[in-house]
Amino acid sequence: MQSTSYLRRDLPPQLSVRYRQDLLIDGTRLPALSGRYFETRNPATEEVIAEVAEGDAADIDRAVKSARAALEGEWGQMRAADRGTLLLKFADAIRNAQDELVELESLDSGKPVSAIRRQDLPAVLDTLRYYAGFADKINGQVIPSRPDALTYTVREPLGVVGAIIPWNFPLMIGMWKIAPALACGCTVVLKPAELTSLTALRLGELAIEAGIPAGVLNVVTGFGRTAGQALVDHPDVDKVTFTGSPAVGRQILRGAAGNLKRVTLELGGKSANIVFPDADLDAAVKAASSGIFFNAGQVCSAGSRILVHEDVYTEFVGKLAARARAIRIGDPTEAGTAMGPLVSATQMKRVLDYIDIGRTEGAAVVAGGGRHGSTGCFVAATVLANVKPDMRVAQEEIFGPVATVIAFRTEEEALSIANGTAYSLAAGVWSADISRVHRFARRLKAGTVWVNTYGPTDVRLPWGGARDSGFGREHGDAAIDNFTESKVVWIQTGL
Ligand code: NAP
Ligand code: MG
């Protein structure tokens, strides 16, 4: 499958980044029909690491045709249990290739290898194995309707799925979509983010190596406005599952109107993490720090607004700033690195601009506050204090390592600040008062409320938001509903 192989001397010997990365359509690596490629960079060094095929509408059309043929062919006719077995083999193939995947993900996105090994890769395997188990347990129901008829439902795969994913967790979010779609018997055309195409392509190859038939999982790399939009507009795509920004989410809804595609949107967030004086303050500081600095803040559910009761505000800010300063920022391929660069120079500039906006708005920079080093897209872990709820830095998603810390006095005030943005994805509350915790769990507008912790997710639990955070739920059996449709069979038996 390998075309041009390009092994860089400064990379670990087991890794070969293929310099030319072609599309994966119908089980074959192919250049884009246009013959065009675009460069992808390692954000830690800003060096070009590969050229990626620039797929567009014509390539999307080829991939959709291949996905349709696979759906109507071998994949559609396979026993559900065999589908599950193939997904387990896919998981084994990923596990066997994990060192390569970890390196590729880190090089392409700047994520620390330690985090990918500890968090992303295990989540990828867990997700795939969890949904493999579903494949032969997607049951219909016999529903008694009338004495002279047998009426039952079957759950059929929705069809060809377009999956469009962002760059912050390419492997993990990719698998959140691929695994349930395939378990349900759908076929997929995956469009990764242009900044992080490499692991998606490798995943597609591993699926083939595991025995999943050609065309079941196609990967078309390219730009959102061309390849992504073509997938959304394609009349033979039955569903689009999207994770990304609210602006593109709205664009996708408009495109999906053409043939009335089903749509699931997992969008951004500006999640509140609320700390009361009766909480374990050290535990709260630690979790608040990882809640905003993990993955350099490029997390949809990042606890980017930390609401702290005025009685402990000064102490909390001091401790959070100390933690922020102690975070080891640097080469993501080094095992001891806790925070790598942002994904791109554009993203770095956007985050640095937000820090300046915060300063102009009157926030106090108590840790970080600028670029880290002079090469690579690194931003120092930054804490903005004295933030007011209506400042732009408290309302808009920064998607970087920038904590905004807001003081509050009463429960009502905390709730109104917490619920006072356009987003509604996640929230956290820290308190030892069980009644208060229940009040907050009920009244916080969020798809997930964490109590005395911040940030854990599990594929068994439904995940998603409301308003500008999107709609629909991924994970758990909600994802099975997303990729199947009920059919009623009514058999007139007579009495
Ligand atoms: P983005 O700009 O919305 O891009 C997401 C994906 O959509 C990329 O693959 C992009 O391709 C593609 N795209 C862009 N324009 C398109 C169009 N017109 N039609 C179809 N596809 C198009 O988001 P991002 O900057 O990559 O990711 C950051 C955002 O994702 C943040 O807002 C974050 O909160 C959100 N996010 C949400 C979750 C969640 O679970 N709720 C998880 C992670 C991230 P290109 O890369 O080529 O532009
Ligand atoms: Mg890259």
As to burial, measured by CB atoms within 10 angstroms (0-12 exposed, 13-18 middle, 19+ buried), residue 340 is buried
Task: Please report, for the chain, the start and end positions of each structural domain, with discontinuous segments joined by +.
Answer: 13-267+469-487, 272-451
The candidate with the shortest Cα–Cα distance to 21, out of 226, 160, 200, 179, is 200
Q: Which residues contact 454 (CB under 8 A, 6 or more apart)?
A: 273, 287, 288, 290, 291, 303, 428
Q: Ligand 1: which of 237, 248, 263, 294 to mutate, most ligand atoms within 8 Å of CB?
A: 248
Pocket of ligand 1 (CB under 6 A): 164-168, 173, 191, 193-195, 223-225, 228-229, 232, 243-245, 248, 251-252, 266-269, 300, 397, 399, 425
Q: Are 23 and 12 in contact (CB under 8 A)?
A: no
C-alpha of residue 202 to centroid of ligand 1, in Å: 20
The neighbour count for residue 277, using CB atoms within 10 Å, is 16
Q: Is the pLDDT of residue 20 over 50?
A: yes
Q: Could you tell me which CATH class the domain 13-267+469-487 is placed in?
A: alpha beta
Q: What is the mean pLDDT of residues 443-458?
A: 98
Q: Which CATH superfamily is domain 272-451 in?
A: Aldehyde Dehydrogenase; Chain A, domain 2 (3.40.309.10)
Structure-token match 């987003």, residue found: 423
Q: Which residues are identified as catalytic?
A: 266, 300
Residue 306 to residues 66, 70, 94, 273, 317: CA-CA distances in angstroms? 47, 48, 37, 5, 10
Q: How confident is the model at residue 17 (pLDDT cuts 50, 70, 90)?
A: low
Reported as a single tens digit per residue, the pLDDT across 460-489 is 999 999 999 999 999 999 999 999 999 999
Do the bridges between strand 47-53 and strand 37-42 make them parallel or antiparallel, or are there none, so unpaired?
antiparallel
pLDDT at 7: 36
Q: Does residue 376 carry a pLDDT above 80?
A: yes
What's the mean pLDDT in 11-33? Answer: 80
Q: What is the pTM of this model?
A: 0.95
Question: Tell me, what's the pLDDT at 1?
Answer: 37
From 36, 245, 252, 264, give the residue whose CB has the most ligand 1 atoms within 8 Å, as the site to mutate.
Answer: 245
Percent of the chain topping pLDDT 70:
97
Instruction: List all residues 6 or more positions away from 6 whose beta carbon is below 8 Å from its beta carbon.
Output: 16, 17, 18, 19, 20, 50
Per cent of the chain over pLDDT 90 is 96
Helix (H, G, I), strand (E, B) or coil at 292: helix
| Predicted local distance difference test score (pLDDT) of residue 403 | 98
pLDDT at 19: 84
Ligand 1 atom nearest to 169, measured from its CA: 43
Nearest alpha-carbon partner for 184 in 163, 160, 152, 208: 160
